[in-house]
Structure 1
Amino acid sequence: MTYQARHMDIRRGRTAPVAASPRRGADAARPVFVALTLVITATLAGSVAAGIAVWTGWSLAAMALMLPGFLWIAGGAATSLTGLGYPARPGTAPPQGWQPEGQTAVLMLLCREDPQAVATRLDKLSAQLEAVGLARQAQLIVLSDTFGADAILAEAAALDHLIAANRITYRRRVDNDGRKPGNIAEWFDRQGQDFDHMLVLDADSQMSGQRIRRMIWRMETTPGLGLLQAGMSLVPAQSRFGQVQRISSRVLGPPYAAGLAAWTGRTGNYWGHNALIRTAAFAAAARLPRLSGPAPYGGDILSHDFIEAALIRRAGWAVVFDPDPAGSAEDGPQTLAEFHRRNRRWCQGNLQHLRLVGMQGLHPLSRLHLASGVFGFLAAPLWLALVILMGTGLVTLESGLAFALILLTLLIPKLAGLWRLAGPGATTWRRQVACRALAAELMLSSLLAPIVMLHHTAAVVSVLCGRDCGWKRPGGNGPVLPQGLLEMATGLGLTALVVTLNPQGAAWIAPLVAPMIAAPLLIGRIDAVRPDRCPPQNPA
């Protein structure tokens, strides 16, 4: 049977999906991950229980708040350790001269992006697809939800030469119903049947022609594979904040990504871009429900990617994460303000998953992905509540062992990354570079962690109060507080509360409140453009 014939039979339901290859590796890695997670969680909980001076109602409340947090950080540590034990295998290149039998739509989704940057990326990607022999089998399609007369004109002008040269197909919707997933669904209803796969890219996505070719080859040679998510690196940063993220990704990322791929196996996740999806799998499963009621709890699903992955897996298709970041990258937020705005949208979308985690027929690991995304934001207010309970003396620990073990657990992903870079076989120069990078990342991430926790807490409270963050809408005309003022006020308020109720606790909370109080200075310095990244000056 030819590839096209088999593909059409799968589309029409005549042939069931076939198991994809990562199952055997997951069968070995998953028990290791589960065992490590449970052992670390039990150790942390036991150390806290042993150190509590007096058991009261507040102590029981603290333990109830700690347990999900311990499980969360233990899972991260266990994932990185699993990645060291089950490193990712190098990707297999297609045979020399191989050409895809199916057609692939390369979809780039836009909504009020920088048009010149998008045009540059599309120009480069088009040339790379042609260079690797995919010009006939891969079609670049731009799906725009851009609104506003000036933004529309700028986008059309920037892409005009690519459209005229027939290097891209461009369509802009007038009605932005359903946001990004609605844009894809509308295109799919009109043209999806003409393609065997679709590669989804965001405006800031960067993928090489070679990586796309390798992903298509894997998809065509693994009939049960419904979605293949590529690992990603961050492009060189413009600011110090962007550089912190990039260092963190390069040091911590590989062991964690390898571990995640190892224990999730055929039930991986989808991050909304840099992923290849079989159109048969999308047609069979990924039609998103619309939640009842108004936003933020109802309406369109903002974090659509997790749900689409869960539905594709429910339909019997494999969802696989390939952790290799080669030829796959994205831009990260360059300022803390951009980072907070993005996380506010993610918070609202992830909290919507509370209504979907119990959806009928989902794989248990798909439910775990959804729950993990939810707790990624709920963790912040829980940790803040614990800090207040312990800082004010309502809960007292007699021993510092618990704090040392918690700190060690948080450091495990960083130490795993350091081991990968500077372990046995590494040169002295490589070890020095890795240690300097880790030290810089650790210092800056420690300073930023309280500020991020505060904003995550504010995002959760905002959603719980029923406030919708909207989608790509222009900023309002309301008053804007001076940079860092809210963080500083919160830090001073926490300090005053602790000093009033429990003066001995002031030293304990100092590492948390000091970055908050210094936020006006800290944010300005970390958002600054790096000197080596300053744009060239125009000649006079």
Structure 2
Amino acid sequence: MTVHIPNSRFDAAIAPHPGPAEPARPDRRPLLAVMALTAVLTAAVMAGYVLTIGAWGFWSVLAMALITLTTTTLALGASTAVVGLIFPAPPAPKPMPDWQPATQTAILLTLCGEEPRGPAKMLAELADDLAQRGLDRHTRIFVISDTRDDKAEREATALAPLIGAGRITYRRREENVGRKPGNIGDWLHRWGPDFDFMLVLDADSRMSARRIRHLIHRMERSPSTGLLQSGMRLLPAETRFGQLQRSAQRIMGPTFLEGFSAWTGDAGNYWGHNALIRVRAFRDAVPLPKLPGAAPFGGDVLSHDFVEAAWMRRAGWRIEIDADTRASAEDGPQTLSEYHKRDRRWCQGNLQHLRLITAPGLHPLSRLHMAVGVMGFLSAPLWLATLLLLATGAVPLATGWMLLAVATLLITPKICGVSRIIRQAKGLRAKGVVLRAALLETVLSSILAPIVMVHHVIDVAAVVSGRDCGWKKSGGTGISLPTGGVEALAGAAILAIVATVNPAAMAWVLPVALPLIFAPLFIRFMESPCKCIAARS
């Protein structure tokens, strides 16, 4: 529940700002379909729970509330994938071969201490690509940096050839005021009036000139669109863990994005990079509030992208998802430790949204985006609590039909993604490759899920207890144990509790406990180099 804290500056920052006139309503059939399907799937799981409960009492009612919250989130994801099959996005109008933009676009690469050689290589290739397509007259590349200390000199050295050749404009701030939003805000103040659009990229982002050209063309045709978020793929991986993420994205991503784009319509979301933004819309609608109080719940808004999209939509601008993932990519964490550090930062930022979700004037779907982001982390402690209630016998189940229904929700996005790829694959051999890849991804992801759950529980506990991650590069649990040690202890504790209190539940607890117990070995295996992947591009 959000508690209002009187603060005049905060209240002014979250108040609605005027924008363009409300655009024409998009097709609401996908939204109605996803709402209806989510309700039906959630009701089916809860009916299974009610029919199989052995006895009713306080713990049974509590478990029902927890399962309702978590199941609704799973059902929304499953429904989104199904809607992606039913309502595929129509192809966007392509620009004619001789079309050139009538606008000016700034391409902003934000840096903050990252290794600069990769971004420098990417910018050189992008500059060449833009020139070949004649877009260099309508675009300008900026590198806006918050890098400090000894890393700043290495960054300037890596970018020096591009700066000297006039291919990029480089600006580094001495003070990292406001983090990334402050970095972009400084650019808007100095250069924003000279540009119609800005394309935001992170250090690990990749986009082709052809894709940028299509985004500009689409934005120019829709004056009420304030932000156009591009779909993304993951770059080739170095490790088995990186390859697992890439396989999951390739299987489920396109169908899920099609569905997400369809039902969110003109109230989509922003993921912080690989998005084309109308400068005027962003500048006028997005001064972010500084949350009253101290971190982790107060201070700067960390997960700012969701909030920026919500503020722009509230001002009347369309926020749209371009579900096409071609020629738009990002890098993913290559190790579990990198993945957990990133999630720790996201956890704090998303939980801050509890203080913004009831801000006046927000579109209902903007509130939903924030709620789903919050549940992305709160689901872990809720599922762990539910697991313990069921496994210890505090909530007796006569049968396991409810658990089977939950598993079905989890696998539905994979089924939808595989069915889409199977239709596109030519020949039995290709279809067989798809099925084997999907099966391997499902098995490995199922083993990984309890490990991620444990870390999300730790992350939520850290934020609730008042620990600020500070959006630093370093992170972690603060517990000094070998890699996988925390997970192994958690798995052993679960087995010990169940063996003592309710041995009859041991069989169905093992799929959760065993991956945790063997986490040290599994993590070592997953972080090993992926020999099946060629050199990364």
TM-score bucket (shorter structure): over 0.9
Residue pairs, 1:446-457, within 5 angstroms: 446-457=446-457
Post-superposition offset of 1:162: 0.3
2:102 aligned partner: 101
Q: CA deviation at 1:425?
A: 7.5
Opposite residue 497 of structure 2, the aligned amino acid is L
Give the Å deviation of 1:15. Answer: 8.7
Counterpart contact for 1:123–1:162, Cα < 8 Å: yes
CA–CA separation in structure 1 for the residues paired with 2:340 and 2:184: 26
SS where residue 238 of structure 2 aligns? coil
Aligned 8 A contact 1:205 1:273 in 2 = yes
- Are 2:234 and 2:331, in contact at CA under 8 Å, matched by a contact in 1? yes
One-letter amino acid of the counterpart of residue 20, structure 2: A
Write the letter of the residue equivalent to 1:24.
P
CA distance in 1, matches of 2:142, 2:26: 36
1:147 matched to 2:148: yes
Q: Which residue of 2 aligns with 1:239?
A: 239
Alignment of structure 1 residues 284-323 onto 2, 5 Å:
284-323=284-323
Relative to 1, partners in 2 of residues 1:137 and 1:17: Cα closer, same or farther, differing over 3 Å? Answer: farther
Q: Hey, what does 1:10 align to over in structure 2?
A: none
- What CA deviation, in whole Å up to 9, does each residue of 1:426-464 have, x standing for no partner? 531221011011001001000000000000111000000
Aligned amino acid, residue 225 of structure 1: T
Given the superposition, is the C-alpha separation of residues 535 and 19 from structure 1 closer, same or farther in structure 2, using an over 3 Å criterion?
closer
SS of 2:45 mapped into structure 1: helix
In the other structure, the counterpart of 2:54 is 53
Q: Distance in 2 between matches of 1:176 and 1:506?
A: 52
Q: Deviations over 1:150-203 (max 9, x none)?
A: x11111110000000000000111110110011001111111111100000000
1:195 lines up with 2:199 in the alignment? no
Residue type matched to 1:85 in 2? I
1:16 aligns with 2:1: no
2:26 counterpart letter in structure 1: R
d(CA) in 2 for partners of 1:534, 1:102: 39
- Deviation at residue 134 of structure 1 after TM alignment: 0.8
Is the CA contact (8 Å cut-off) linking 1:237 and 1:246 kept in structure 2? yes
Residues 1:14 and 1:512: Cα distance change in structure 2 (over 3 Å): closer
- Shift in Å, 1:253: 0.9
Shift of 1:18: 6.1
Aligned residue type for 2:133? V
Structure 1 contact 421–430 (Cα < 8 Å) conserved = no
Equivalent-residue separation in structure 1 for 2:135 and 2:127 (angstroms): 9
CA distance in 1, matches of 2:159, 2:204: 15
Aligned residues: 519
Unaligned runs of 5+ residues in structure 1 are 1-12
Q: Is contact 1:119-1:158 (8 Å) kept? A: yes
1:367-516 equivalences under 5 Å are 367-423=367-423, 426-473=426-473, 480-516=480-516
TM-score, normalization: structure 2?
A: 0.94
SS in 1 for 2:320: strand
Aligned partner of 1:65 in structure 2 is 66
How do residues 321-400 of structure 1 correspond to structure 2 at under 5 angstroms?
Answer: 321-400=321-400
Aligned 8 A contact 2:238 2:529 in 1: yes
* Secondary structure at the counterpart of residue 26 of structure 2: helix
SS of 1:24's equivalent in the other structure is: coil
- Could you say which residue in structure 1 is the equivalent of 2:81? 80
Query: Could you say if the C-alpha distance between residues 321 and 475 of structure 1 is closer, same or farther in structure 2, counting changes exceeding 3 Å?
Result: closer
Cα offset, 1:503, TM superposition? 1.1
Q: Deviations over 1:342-365 (max 9, x none)?
A: 000000000000000000000001
The whole-number CA distance in structure 1 between the counterparts of 2:498 and 2:89 is 47
2: CA distance, partners of 1:515 / 1:532: 24
RMSD across aligned positions (CA) = 1.7
3-state SS in 1 of match to 2:109: strand
Say whether the 8 Å CA contact 1:88–1:324 is kept in structure 2. Answer: no
What is the Cα deviation at residue 129 of structure 1?
Answer: 1.0
Cα distance in structure 1, aligned partners of 2:84 and 2:535: 39
2:257 is the alignment partner of 1:253: no
Deviations 1:119-146 (A, max 9, x none): 1111111111111111011100001111
The amino acid across from 1:57 in the alignment is: F
CA spacing shift, 1:506–1:361, aligned 2, 3 Å? same
Does the CA contact (< 8 Å) of 1:40 and 1:74 recur in 2? yes
Deviation at 1:423, TM superposition (A): 3.6
Deviations 1:56-91 (A, max 9, x none): 111001001110111111101100000000012223
After superposing the two structures, state which structure 1 stretch, 89-98 or 365-374, moved more. 89-98
Is residue 125 of structure 1 aligned with residue 126 of structure 2? yes
Q: Deviations over 1:284-332 (max 9, x none)?
A: 2011001011110011111000000000000000000011001100000
The two structures have a TM-score, normalised by structure 1, of 0.94
3-state SS of 1:272 partner: coil
- 8 A Cα contact 1:111 1:472, kept in partner: no
1:94 is paired with a residue of what secondary structure?
A: coil
Aligned pairs (5 A) from 1:274-289 = 274-289=274-289
Please report how far the alpha carbon of residue 474 of structure 1 lies from its aligned counterpart in structure 2 after TM superposition: 5.3
The answer as to 2:112 corresponding to 1:111 is yes
Secondary structure of the residue aligned to 1:482 is: coil
2:137 match: 136
- Aligned residue for 1:139, secondary structure, equals strand
Residue 320 of structure 1 aligns to which amino acid in structure 2?
E
Q: Distance in 1 between matches of 2:375 and 2:479?
A: 32
User: Deviations 1:443-502 (Å, cap 9, x if unpaired)?
Assistant: 1000000000000111000000000112235579x8842111111111111111111111
Contact 1:228/1:320 (CA < 8 Å) preserved in 2? yes
Query: Shift of the alpha carbon at 1:235?
Result: 0.7
CA distance in 2, matches of 1:313, 1:507: 49
Seq. identity, %: 50
SS at match of 1:296: coil
